[in-house]
Amino acid sequence: MQRTKIINLLNSKQEIDIVLVKGWVRTRRDSKTFSFIELNDGSCLGNMQIIADQALDNYEEIKKITTGSAISVKGRLAKSKGGGQKWEIPAENIEIISMSPESYPLQKKRHTDEFLRTIAHLRPRTNKYGAAFRIRSELSYAIHSFFKNKGFKYIHTPIITGSDCEGAGEMFRVTNLELDNLPKKDGHVDYSADFFGTESKLTVSGQLSAEMFALALGDVYTFGPTFRAENSNTSRHAAEFWMVEPEMAFCDLAGNMELGEELIKYLVAYVLENCKEDMNLFARFVDKNLMPALENILTRDFARLPYEEAVNILKNAKNKFEHEIEFGKDLQSEHERYITETYFKKPVIIFDYPKTIKPFYMRVNNDNKTVAAMDVLVPGIGEIIGGSQREERLDVLETRMDEHGLSKEDYWWYIDSRRYGSVPHSGFGMGFERVIMLMTGIRNIRDVIPFSRTPGSIDF
């Protein structure tokens, strides 16, 4: 007999004569003649109530079943007589698959997020983390659906890369040299003996590669892991995280902003529609303001303003900022939060940043002072998207590379794309973990990644 997942039974429209369920015991309590078992199989937040009658052959054993044990149950899916749930299974047979010892760390009580991080291999068995990782899965699917519906092609850009200066942050080195016995040449490591014959790193962005494909296939996107070797122990940064990077040929900055706003709204609508039960947990227990905040994103037009205007707003703000702001300085997290949370009270897109603080590949505006960059900021999170129209003019690009001290030899292929069939194109990067944080109200990036990597932390 085939097991049925609990999500399907809880959504059943009618009683079913006989079903087989398998899962893990969340709690068990005894009445005089019954034992009530709350069974969860991870398919959804909800448990199936199992009623074990004392008449069962192995009732003495059943009465010893502990939290975390695995069991298999056969019985009728019946309308529940109790108040708490619609369906229950009066068991005809209960088989104990494995008994959890009393040392099982997830006994029925509240555990701190900090403690649960130390047992990241077990925390998806809790209500909160089960819900978080189901939502992560649904959001991944939503991202693929969104782009698929629009005719975007999904591209797997390289993780190991020889380009080391995209300017997006510190990079990890990848090597298969024996570190205890490094080959040297002229006093320096001889990378010609390394796997790729040269220095190689973990990618910080798939953008440059994705551009090559946008200039061939039109609309493309990446969705994969990216890395930063930055020694920052904040709640918003991880050394390994997933990023979504669409790249569109024949698209300018305005189109780029449209796509960013549309994507975020799509994802909010998607989880509200498809993850109701799990979302409800976060709205009740994690962030009381979650639903109004998501409604606000869904229903209101994102504010759009040039960086220069944002700077003026900040200068005129009564707030005291830790970092002074003036034209030419990068917006700090506190500035972004003020703009989106205090001033506009809704998502904001800031565009046309000073070219001096932005990478070489962003398109220089006619003022020759700003570039066609844009950041999307949302309340509670801050920057969630960063993107730009790319510099498609060969001569301007080469000048910018010189200004940034980049080797045109290393980037010969990137430059080639502006030599042959260059067209206006745009794209952005969206941090996937920030999206999950936005949707769930979870405020530490370590808690939305199955096994997070941060400085000093590589367990599991």
Among 1, 62, 429, 44, smallest CA distance to 247 is for 429
User: d(Cα 264, Cα 457) in Å, to the nearest integer?
Assistant: 31
Which of residues 47, 49, 207, 209 is near a copy of itself by CB under 8 A? Answer: 209
Q: What ranges make up the beta strands (E) of 34-145?
A: 34-40, 48-53, 70-79, 87-98
CA angle 389, 392, 395 (to 5 degrees): 135
- Which of the residues 218 through 277 are near a copy of itself (CB under 8 A)? 218-219, 224-225, 227, 229, 231, 239-240, 242, 249-250
Among 246, 260, 263, 252, smallest CA distance to 390 is for 252
Nearer to a copy of itself, 16 or 415 (CB): 415
CA distances from 369 to 269, 330, 366 (A): 38, 14, 8
Which of residues 146, 213, 343, 353 is near a copy of itself by CB under 8 A? Answer: 213
Amino acid letter, 57: D
Q: In 192-285, which ranges are continuous DSSP H helix?
A: 207-217, 253-274, 276-281
- Which of the residues 15 through 54 are near a copy of itself (CB under 8 A)? 22-24, 41-43
Three-state DSSP at 183 gives coil
Write the CB contacts of 105 (distance below 8 Å, at least 6 apart in sequence): 111, 119, 122
Which of residues 182, 291, 305, 396 is near a copy of itself by CB under 8 A? Answer: 182
Rule CB under 8 A: say whether 382 interacts with a copy of itself.
Answer: no
Q: How far is the CB of 105 from a copy of itself (least distance, A)?
A: 8
- Cα 106 to chain centroid distance, Å, stands at 25
By the 10 Å C-beta count (0-12 exposed, 13-18 middle, 19+ buried), 421 is classed as: exposed
Rule CB under 8 A: say whether 167 interacts with a copy of itself.
Answer: no
Determine which helix (DSSP H) or strand (DSSP E) holds 285, and give its type and residue range: none
Nearer to a copy of itself, 55 or 179 (CB): 179
- Which of the residues 129 through 148 are near a copy of itself (CB under 8 A)? 130, 133-134, 136-137, 140-141, 144, 148
Rule CB under 8 A: say whether 207 interacts with a copy of itself.
Answer: no
Which of residues 97, 276, 299, 345 is near a copy of itself by CB under 8 A? Answer: 97
Q: Name the one range near a copy of itself by CB under 8 A: 27-35, 340-348, 395-403, 421-429.
A: 421-429
Nearer to a copy of itself, 251 or 362 (CB): 251
For 116, the token pair is: 């649960």
Nearer to a copy of itself, 160 or 357 (CB): 160
CA distances from 39 to 4, 147, 171, 244 (A): 13, 37, 45, 36
Rule CB under 8 A: say whether 168 interacts with a copy of itself.
Answer: no
Q: Name the one range near a copy of itself by CB under 8 A: 76-84, 118-126, 285-293, 378-386.
A: 118-126
CA distances from 16 to 72, 77, 394 (A): 17, 5, 68
Is there a contact between 16 and 87 (Cβ–Cβ < 8 Å)? Answer: no
Number of residues interacting with a copy of itself: please give it, by CB under 8 A. 105
Q: Name the one range near a copy of itself by CB under 8 A: 53-61, 151-159, 341-349, 399-407.
A: 151-159
Q: How far is the CB of 183 from a copy of itself (least distance, A)?
A: 10
Rule CB under 8 A: say whether 117 interacts with a copy of itself.
Answer: no
Rule CB under 8 A: say whether 369 interacts with a copy of itself.
Answer: no
Which of residues 111, 125, 304, 443 is near a copy of itself by CB under 8 A? Answer: 125
Q: Name the one range near a copy of itself by CB under 8 A: 54-62, 84-92, 369-377, 408-416.
A: 408-416
Which of residues 64, 160, 367, 408 is near a copy of itself by CB under 8 A? Answer: 160
Nearer to a copy of itself, 70 or 168 (CB): 70
User: d(Cα 270, Cα 142) in Å, to the nearest integer?
Assistant: 7
Which of residues 34, 36, 59, 196 is near a copy of itself by CB under 8 A? Answer: 196
